[in-house]
Structure 1
């Protein structure tokens, strides 16, 4: 099988907020974390935070330059205050994380 020419890794995190979490405070925490990602993590490309119309389910999509950068960031973020604030508002019982790489569609 041919190795995929990997130009990025997409990190997708599905979650719910903790009961009673203020959505505006959560979005402010997400914005603060995005700023940290942009300034302190060289493999970071872009990020999109989405939610269902009723705001019960959330999806955080982050693009990294490669898998190594994504995994390194995951370990380093644990000690970053902006990340700690962001995850403190997430229900830890309902998190699904995946790292996805682009499929090679050329034959």
Structure 2
């Protein structure tokens, strides 16, 4: 199995609090969880950069999911809380995955 991670880095739009952004991300998760190939998602923060990481079955599902996310009305609140000029999206192959024993 191929497994892909989608890494979305961004800054919050002006006047958006961390709690607002987290709540909007949780709302968007209702849509993401139903997408084909979705496995896992996490949201993290360091200094002024947010990182949303999504694990997918394959690159096709990742790219399709990304497009569907951008078009879905349940995700617009989250997207609108991002500084659009700062958004960076990349996809990487997972080379090793290890779970805690």
TM-score (norm 2): 0.86
| Matched residue count | 96
TM-score (norm 1): 0.82
Partner Cα distance (2:18, 2:86) in 1: 17
Task: Structure 2: state its 5+ residue gaps.
Answer: 97-101
Runs of 4+ in structure 1 off by over 2 angstroms are none
Task: Determine whether 1:84 maps to 2:76.
Answer: yes
Task: Structure 1: state its 5+ residue gaps.
Answer: none
Partner Cα distance (2:52, 2:69) in 1: 15
Aligned equivalent of 2:29: 34
Q: 2:14 aligns with which of 5, 19, 31?
A: 19
Q: CA RMSD in A?
A: 1.5
Bigger share in strand: 2
